[in-house]
């Protein structure tokens, strides 16, 4: 029974959020709470030779200043610092570990005081002397040092030869700048000292159990000594996958002082955390005159830190998506004196597919083919990289539905051919693709005889709507009104969950709920069938469902017993079941979500001002659990895609190795005025192979393709190809 799944159910936590009842990491109170303020390094590379805290310690209200030379012990092995999502290769950054400075903005001291203002003031009284070392932060000037780090990819055919032979070929560099997540909520941790060395840590994170294990390993604690809670997260987008500096620092403070400590990073300091790495994406495509591809080559050159190899799949999407007998990929890293990059919404794909889909557009122009037609010419029903069928792939329908809604057939292919007064109109499109992953997640459901159920799991809801879909799936599976379901998430003591990321949480948590609810059903069926003169006696257990608060025969709901009666007869007050989801191993199919994105831009011809007046995003992502929160995910992603195309860029002065726009006045993201009409279409994509419910996940697919669609529209409007993002008006005027 699907009373809730698939509907536009409003967020179950919406009221708590808008009324302020929802508490975030930096809002939890504690007795005798202390406040920590971070002191950050002001050079990109070198050693601290003197860190004088004496003036700071004299400030009334300052309790202590923690530094590498004055702190409780921290684990010494790299392995201890590797959290669940740390890059495999490298040595993770350790706050306040030693006197080395590895990047500008690195935390080097924590001032702990009775109140935040005092801590902040005292921080200005700390004197630091460095021994500076030569450094490099500019990817482009260090490009020659790029080195391959991946497992060598097995090329298909001979792409270079095919490219040379190809009737038509296109080859270019696309440059995507570094970008910071800028979630609305600042990174914060309140580490509550519970006494006897035990801590309850309220943290802004995408994975409480990841943080809990990390803290236990870094501070060498027993698992029951640290509990991590993160009930609400005001956006994270990947920046909260790894434990961040503030959680280490707050915990350090609490352990050092045996008091509760809160650390909130400033917006500026959040630019010392991870970011989407700048990449130079080199794409080369070779085609026959009819538009079939002969060669796909994609090389990404990305920034990483000197101490960790962060690399994502930027380059694999073209060879997976498009039929081509020859392909070659490579991902190279340049090690610079910067913080390690991290995942940011659709990591790898957002940048790589942007380049790929701009290149496809350029190829379509060279071939004089409609961009959709080109994509259909090399459309593949099989995953080209692995040569596997998909569990489902409705990308063709995305093109068709998106084009229809957008009015694509009315497009005049010639650049600069469409106008609205002083504005040039441009229409562009692009493909989006992402993975449909699922991970082990366990859920506990406690059903009480009054027909209420408590569902709990350690998974985070980072604003995506996990609370809501868990409640929906549970309400349907248990046959209860959604008001009777309460969901508890993001407490490390709850049943297991990985970090919330990769778009895997919807499928993973829903199936865990389904599993636990099934065990509850089975127990209820046993109670009912054991009743004297049971109305369900003789009915096959498989034909018995939970519906409308009863245990009923599926085919004849008049044969039913209320849950309350069933439990009374079974003499149970509560039924508690905990279940780990089970996804049968299936290596025979590829799992992906897809989209077709259409964008209209209007460009003021004289002034170069660009407006994205319309975006249609047609998404095929299996079953949509909640059309309201799902639509929000896609809309938010499209807005971000507008930002990627036109606004976002972390600007560094490489002479200082410093980020110079580390605030959200100067780091531009789209504002309301930049966002016009956004049309989200969910294309039907039944999929009974991927998992029971046919869920694929929506968190990331929405951004992939958007920047390319906009860039392609800008080309169509102006005849100018801007391959260096963001596309600002100066680039059009030049």
Partner 1 sequence: MNNFQYSRASDVADAIRLLAADPAAKLIAGGTNLIDLMKENVERPSRLVDISRLPLRDIEETADGGLRIGALVPNSDLAYHPLIEQRYPLLASAILAGASAQLRNMASVGGNLMQRTRCAYFYDTTTPCNKRSPDTGCSAIDGLNRNHAILGTSRSCIATNPSDMSVALAALGALVHIAGGNGERTVALTDFHRLPDDKPHVDTNLGSGEIITAIELPPRGFARNYSYLKVRDRLSYAFALVSVAAALELEGNAIGEARLALGGVAHKPWRKLDAEAALRGQAATPDHFGRAADLLLQGASARSQNGFKIELARRAVVRTLMQAANATPQSQAHKKIA
Report, as residue numbers or ranges, the catalytic residues.
700
Give the rounded distance of the alpha carbon of 160 from its chain centre.
35
Residues numbered 120 to 139 that lie near partner 1 (CB under 8 A) are: 120-121, 124
Q: Which is nearer to partner 1, 217 or 663 (CB)?
A: 663
Q: Which is nearer to partner 1, 225 or 604 (CB)?
A: 604
Out of 573, 653, 684, 688, the residue judged to bind partner 1 by CB under 8 A? 653
DSSP state of 500: S
Q: Which is nearer to partner 1, 465 or 670 (CB)?
A: 670
The answer for 291, left when phi > 0, alpha when psi is -120 to 50, beta otherwise, is left
Site for partner 1 contains 55 (CB under 8 A): no
Q: Which is nearer to partner 1, 379 or 656 (CB)?
A: 656
Bridge-based pairing of strands 485-489 and 453-457 is parallel
- Is there a contact between 353 and 430 (Cβ–Cβ < 8 Å)? yes
Number of residues in contact with partner 1, rule: CB under 8 A? 37
Residues in contact with partner 1, shown as a per-residue x/- string from 73 to 112 under the rule CB under 8 A: ----------------------------------------
Out of 530, 660, 684, 686, the residue judged to bind partner 1 by CB under 8 A? 660
SS (H, E, C) 274-339: CCECCEEEEEEEEECCCCCEEEEEEEEEEEEECCECCCCCCCHHHHHHCCCCEEEEEEEEEEECCC
Choose the binding region for partner 1 from 47-55, 119-127, 278-286, 695-703 (rule: CB under 8 A): 119-127
From CA 603, how far away is CA 722, in angstroms rounded? 14
CA separation (Å) from 102 to 4, 44, 581? 50, 6, 41
3-state secondary structure of 157: coil
Q: Which is nearer to partner 1, 97 or 121 (CB)?
A: 121
Sign (positive or negative) of CA dihedral 9, 12, 15, 17? negative
Q: Which is nearer to partner 1, 563 or 732 (CB)?
A: 732
- Is there a contact between 329 and 295 (Cβ–Cβ < 8 Å)? no
Site for partner 1 contains 658 (CB under 8 A): yes
Out of 58, 73, 651, 686, the residue judged to bind partner 1 by CB under 8 A? 651
Site for partner 1 contains 150 (CB under 8 A): no
Query: Which backbone phi and psi does 199 adopt, to 5 degrees?
Result: -130, 140
E-only strand ranges, 80-134: 100-101, 107-113, 127-132
Residue 200: CA atoms inside 13 Å, Cβ hemisphere, count? 15
Residues in contact with partner 1, shown as a per-residue x/- string from 629 to 648 under the rule CB under 8 A: -----------------xx-
Site for partner 1 contains 114 (CB under 8 A): no
Residue 221: CA atoms inside 13 Å, Cβ hemisphere, count? 23
Q: Which is nearer to partner 1, 147 or 664 (CB)?
A: 664
From CA 293, how far away is CA 166, in angstroms rounded? 9
Out of 17, 396, 611, 720, the residue judged to bind partner 1 by CB under 8 A? 611
Residue 594: CA atoms inside 13 Å, Cβ hemisphere, count? 30
- Cβ at position 59, least distance to partner 1 in Å: 9
Q: Which is nearer to partner 1, 129 or 381 (CB)?
A: 129
DSSP state of 672: G
- Cβ at position 36, least distance to partner 1 in Å: 16
Site for partner 1 contains 655 (CB under 8 A): yes
Out of 172, 674, 720, 724, the residue judged to bind partner 1 by CB under 8 A? 674
Site for partner 1 contains 141 (CB under 8 A): no
- Is there a contact between 354 and 432 (Cβ–Cβ < 8 Å)? no
Out of 519, 604, 628, 724, the residue judged to bind partner 1 by CB under 8 A? 604
Out of 622, 670, 699, 702, the residue judged to bind partner 1 by CB under 8 A? 670
Q: Which residues pair with 620 in a beta bridge?
A: 594
- Cβ at position 364, least distance to partner 1 in Å: 29
Q: Which is nearer to partner 1, 64 or 423 (CB)?
A: 423
Site for partner 1 contains 665 (CB under 8 A): yes
Q: Which residues pair with 354 in a beta bridge?
A: none
Site for partner 1 contains 42 (CB under 8 A): yes
Residues in contact with partner 1, shown as a per-residue x/- string from 433 to 462 under the rule CB under 8 A: ------------------------------
Residues with Cβ within 8 Å of residue 669, at least 6 apart in sequence:
182, 640, 643, 647, 648
From CA 261, how far away is CA 10, in angstroms rounded? 36
Out of 628, 656, 721, 724, the residue judged to bind partner 1 by CB under 8 A? 656
Out of 422, 526, 557, 574, the residue judged to bind partner 1 by CB under 8 A? 422
Map tokens 């939970």 to a residue: 546
- Cβ at position 300, least distance to partner 1 in Å: 26
- Cβ at position 342, least distance to partner 1 in Å: 24
Choose the binding region for partner 1 from 4-12, 62-70, 199-207, 669-677 (rule: CB under 8 A): 669-677
Map tokens 């609490």 to a residue: 254
Burial 636-650 (b: 16+ CB within 10 A, else e): bbbbbbbbbbbbbbb
From CA 279, how far away is CA 179, in angstroms rounded? 11
From CA 709, how far away is CA 615, in angstroms rounded? 9
User: Which of 222, 220, 216, 240 has its CA nearest to residue 85?
Assistant: 240
Cis peptide before 28 (omega within 30 of 0): no
Site for partner 1 contains 184 (CB under 8 A): no
Out of 153, 676, 689, 724, the residue judged to bind partner 1 by CB under 8 A? 676
Q: Which is nearer to partner 1, 527 or 658 (CB)?
A: 658
Give the rounded distance of the alpha carbon of 412 from its chain centre.
37
Choose the binding region for partner 1 from 208-216, 356-364, 452-460, 660-668 (rule: CB under 8 A): 660-668
Question: Which residues of this chain interact with partner 1, rule CB under 8 A?
Answer: 42, 117, 120-121, 124, 422-423, 602, 604, 606-609, 611, 646-647, 651, 653, 655-656, 658, 660-661, 665-666, 668, 670-674, 676, 728-730, 733-734
């Amino acid at each position: 029974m699907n009373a809730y799944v698939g509907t536009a159910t409003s967020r179950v936590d919406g009221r708590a959020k808008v009324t302020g009842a929802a508490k975030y990491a930096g809002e939890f109170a504690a007795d005798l709470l202390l406040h920590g303020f971070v002191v950050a390094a002001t050079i990109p590379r070198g050693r601290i030779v003197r860190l004088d805290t004496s003036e700071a310690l004299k400030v009334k209200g300052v309790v202590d200043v923690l530094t590498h030379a004055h702190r409780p012990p921290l684990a010494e092995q790299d392995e201890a610092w590797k959290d669940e999502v740390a890059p495999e290769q490298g040595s993770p950054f350790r706050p306040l570990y030693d006197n080395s400075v590895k990047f500008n903005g690195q935390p080097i001291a924590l001032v702990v005081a009775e109140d935040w203002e005092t801590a902040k003031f005292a921080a200005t009284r700390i004197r630091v002397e460095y021994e500076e070392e030569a450094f490099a932060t500019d990817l482009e000037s260090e490009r020659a040092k790029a080195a391959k780090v991946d497992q060598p990819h097995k090329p298909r055919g001979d792409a270079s030869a095919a490219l040379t032979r190809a009737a038509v070929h296109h080859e270019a560099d696309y440059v995507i700048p570094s970008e910071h997540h800028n979630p609305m909520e600042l990174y914060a941790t309140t580490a509550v000292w519970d006494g006897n060395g035990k801590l309850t840590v309220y943290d802004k994170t995408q994975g409480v159990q990841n943080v809990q294990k990390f803290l236990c390993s870094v501070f060498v604690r027993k698992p029951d000594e640290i509990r991590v809670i993160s009930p609400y997260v005001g956006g994270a987008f990947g920046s909260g996958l790894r434990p961040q500096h503030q959680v280490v620092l707050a915990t350090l403070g609490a352990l050092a002082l045996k008091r509760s400590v809160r650390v909130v990073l400033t917006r500026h300091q959040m630019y010392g955390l991870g970011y989407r790495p700048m990449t130079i994406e080199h794409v080369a495509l070779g085609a026959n005159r009819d538009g079939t591809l002969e060669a796909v080559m994609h090389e990404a050159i990305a920034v990483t830190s000197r101490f960790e190899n962060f690399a994502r799949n930027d380059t694999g999407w073209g060879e997976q998506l498009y039929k081509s007998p020859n392909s070659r990929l490579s991902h190279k890293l340049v090690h610079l004196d910067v913080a390690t990059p991290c995942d940011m919404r659709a990591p790898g794909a957002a940048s790589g597919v942007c380049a790929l889909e701009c290149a496809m557009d350029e190829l379509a122009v060279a071939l004089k083919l409609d961009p959709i037609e080109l994509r259909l010419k090399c459309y593949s029903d099989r995953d080209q990289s692995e040569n596997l069928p998909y569990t489902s792939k409705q990308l063709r329908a995305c093109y068709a539905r998106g084009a229809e809604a957008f009015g694509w057939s009315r497009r005049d292919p010639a650049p600069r051919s469409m106008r609205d007064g002083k504005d040039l109109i441009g229409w562009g499109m692009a493909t989006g693709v992402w993975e449909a992953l699922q991970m082990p997640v366990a859920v506990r459901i406690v059903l009480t005889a009054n027909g209420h159920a408590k569902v709990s799991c350690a998974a985070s809801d980072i604003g995506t709507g996990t609370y809501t879909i868990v409640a929906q799936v549970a309400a349907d599976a248990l046959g209860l009104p959604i008001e009777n379901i309460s969901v508890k998430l993001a407490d490390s003591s709850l049943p297991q969950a990985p970090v919330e990321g990769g778009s895997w949480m919807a499928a993973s948590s829903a199936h865990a709920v389904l599993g636990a609810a099934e065990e509850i059903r089975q127990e209820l069926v046993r109670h009912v069938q054991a009743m004297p003169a049971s109305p369900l006696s003789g009915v096959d257990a498989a034909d018995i469902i939970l519906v409308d608060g009863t245990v009923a025969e599926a085919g004849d709901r008049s044969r039913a017993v209320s849950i309350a009666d069933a439990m009374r007869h079974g003499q149970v007050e509560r039924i508690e079941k905990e279940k780990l989801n089970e996804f049968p191993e299936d290596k025979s199919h590829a799992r992906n979500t897809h989209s077709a994105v259409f964008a209209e831009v209007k460009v003021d011809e004289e002034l170069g001002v660009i407006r994205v007046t319309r975006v249609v995003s047609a998404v095929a992502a299996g079953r949509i659990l909640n059309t309201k929160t799902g639509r929000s995910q896609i809309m938010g992603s499209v807005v971000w895609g507008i930002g990627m195309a036109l606004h976002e860029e972390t600007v560094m002065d490489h002479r200082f190795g410093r980020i110079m726009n580390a605030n959200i006045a100067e780091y531009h993201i789209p504002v309301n005025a930049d966002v016009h009409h956004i049309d989200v279409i969910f294309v039907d994509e039944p999929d009974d192979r991927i998992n029971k419910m046919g869920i694929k996940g929506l968190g990331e697919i929405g951004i992939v393709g958007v920047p390319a669609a906009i860039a392609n529209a800008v080309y169509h409007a102006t005849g100018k190809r801007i391959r260096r993002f963001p596309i600002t008006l100066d680039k059009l005027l030049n």
